[in-house]
Amino acid sequence: KDIREEAEKYAKESLKEEDESDDDNM
């Protein structure tokens, strides 16, 4: 398993979660 790939996936998921949170805040 590549750590870089895992980090990218985690970052992408984190960004998606942030986006959803922002929408909920509005």
Identify the pLDDT of residue 6: 92
Identify the pLDDT of residue 5: 94
Question: 3-state SS of the chain: helix, strand, coil percent to 5?
Answer: 90, 0, 10
Torsion sign across C-alpha atoms 10, 11, 12, 16:
positive
What pLDDT tens digit does each residue of the chain (26 aa) get?
799 999 999 888 877 666 665 566 55
Helix H or strand E encompassing 19: helix 3-25
Identify the pLDDT of residue 12: 86
